[in-house]
Amino acid sequence: MDLKSIASELVAGCREGREVANLDRLYAADAVSVEAADMSGNGRETRGLAGIKGKHEWWNGAMEVTGGTISDPMLHGDDRFAVVFEMQGKEKATGKAFDMKEVGVYHVKDGKIVREEFFYSF
């Protein structure tokens, strides 16, 4: 897949609730995911597809998303793209509501996402 196809499919998958199913299709086995802060207690950096799947499991188990928007992908050269995520939700354990805005920057090599970096204010 080329950069535009990968970026478009990542966004479509997020909008349609199939982001977890897209992990095997779009990500390299040794992909790296980097958060701006350690939100789960497991550190900022996660290595490997299994670890990234674990991050999704943690998020889906801990948070309930009640609304939001996902921007169209913004391409940068032939190896990167960014997406803006805005969402509202609540922590399942406490019921505490949140509003969140996050920018994801994705690096692509050999037709797969090899690195994702998330930026947000906290």
Which tens digits make up the pLDDT trace of 78-94? 999 999 999 999 999 99
CA–CA separation, 48 and 39 (whole Å): 18
SS3 5: helix
CB atoms within 10 A of CB 115: 17
CA–CA separation, 73 and 93 (whole Å): 32
What pLDDT is stored for residue 43 in this prediction?
Answer: 87
Torsion of CA 49, 117, 22, 46, to 10 degrees: 20
User: What average pLDDT score do residues 58-81 get?
Assistant: 96
Q: What is the CATH number of domain 3-120?
A: 3.10.450.50
Residue-wise pLDDT for 42-56, tens only, equals: 789 999 999 999 999
The model scores a pTM over 0.85 = yes
Domain residue limits, the chain: 3-120
What pLDDT is stored for residue 57 in this prediction?
Answer: 93
User: What average pLDDT score do residues 67-72 get?
Assistant: 97
